[in-house]
Amino acid sequence: MKGLLVRIDDYVQNAGEAEKQLISRLQRNPESVLRKTIKEIAKETYTSPATIVRLCKKLGCKGYKDFQSTLAYEVALFRESRDIAFQKITQKDTVEDIIYKVTKKNIESLETTRKLLEPKTITSCVKLLETSRTVSLFGLGTSLLVARDLYLKLLRADVICNLCDDWHAQFLTARNLRTGDVAIVISYSGLTEEMLQCAKEAKANGAKVIAITRAVESKLAAEADYVLPVAATELIHRSGAMSSRISQLNVVDVLFTAYVNRNYEFCMNQFGRTHIQKDGGT
């Protein structure tokens, strides 16, 4: 079920005069509604309790009380997510502050990335992975680390894949692609010239291009067949620590998990074969 405030917004167009008054009041300050009785709201908006109850029902609630508690829930979540809003790190910050702020920023970035991801796009990408002849990965700098992470995962699932460390080799890989291949190009900014070239080359050769990049101002996004967006975060600090790679890894997790879930039997069998026995992990 959609959020209540969204439903209110959707309903405006069908609303009568009194209802519009009400909705305007609700939207102006949803939070204060929680502390008011139905009569008070009726008085404020020059409407009647009956109209209010009717509106609540139209919005899918059982009545005014139900409406209030649904709204309370929503407002609580909203407030929580605003809280997170970024506080810059300054030189005055203690180490304790830094731990808190850096982590918060990374969490915020994950939350935002989650909201950007569209299930349909993920599904399309998973299908592409299933049917592709080969999967080639592209990335430089920090994004190369993300590419490597995905590479390790795909390897375990026995997806035929390819990743070169340096750009020249990556470009050659792009040159050799053909119809039926998939290129996954990773670049946070979406502006790295080398990556754009790889994407164009891949496309020109008939391969499908999946980009893992920020949504805004990304030339790469414009080139790609499918875009898996990550939150456009600033630097955490002028230090250059950035949340983008964490969001990118989250996208990789989602994509790969979705892939495994659709190819469960096969993948589980593969994981059994590729599990490194000697220790518990890395």
Partner DNA sequence: TCATATAATGAAAATAAGTTTCATAGTTTT
Partner DNA sequence: AAAACTATGAAACTTATTTTCATTATATGA
Which residue ranges make up the site for DNA (CB under 7 A)? 14-19, 37-39, 46-51, 53-54, 56, 62-66, 68
Residue 158 binds a second copy (CB under 8 A): no
Residue 137 binds a second copy (CB under 8 A): no
Residue 89 binds a second copy (CB under 8 A): yes
Residue 123 binds a second copy (CB under 8 A): yes
CA distance 220 to 195: 8
In 3D, which of 255, 232, 254 has the Cα closest to residue 244? 232
Residue 148 binds a second copy (CB under 8 A): yes
Q: Which of residues 211-250 bind a second copy (CB under 8 A)?
A: 236-241, 244-246, 249-250
CB of 23: closest distance to DNA in angstroms?
10
Among the listed ranges 7-15, 102-110, 128-136, 172-180, the one in contact with a second copy (CB under 8 A) is 102-110
The answer to whether 19 and 44 have CB atoms below 8 angstroms apart is no
Nearer to DNA, 51 or 263 (CB): 51
The answer to whether 184 and 128 have CB atoms below 8 angstroms apart is no
The answer to whether 185 and 195 have CB atoms below 8 angstroms apart is yes
Nearer to a second copy, 5 or 140 (CB): 140
Residue from 169, 257, 266, 269 binding a second copy (CB under 8 A): 257
Binding partner of 245, given a second copy, DNA, none, CB within 5-8 angstroms per partner class: a second copy
Beta bridge partners of 184: 137, 210
Binding partner of 122, given DNA, a second copy, none, CB within 5-8 angstroms per partner class: a second copy
* Start-end of H helices in the chain: 4-11, 17-28, 30-33, 38-44, 49-58, 64-83, 95-116, 119-131, 142-156, 167-175, 193-204, 219-223, 244-262, 264-274
Residue 93 binds a second copy (CB under 8 A): yes
Strands in 182-186's sheet, in edge-to-edge order, are: 161-163, 135-138, 182-186, 208-214, 226-230
Binding partner of 54, given a second copy, DNA, none, CB within 5-8 angstroms per partner class: DNA
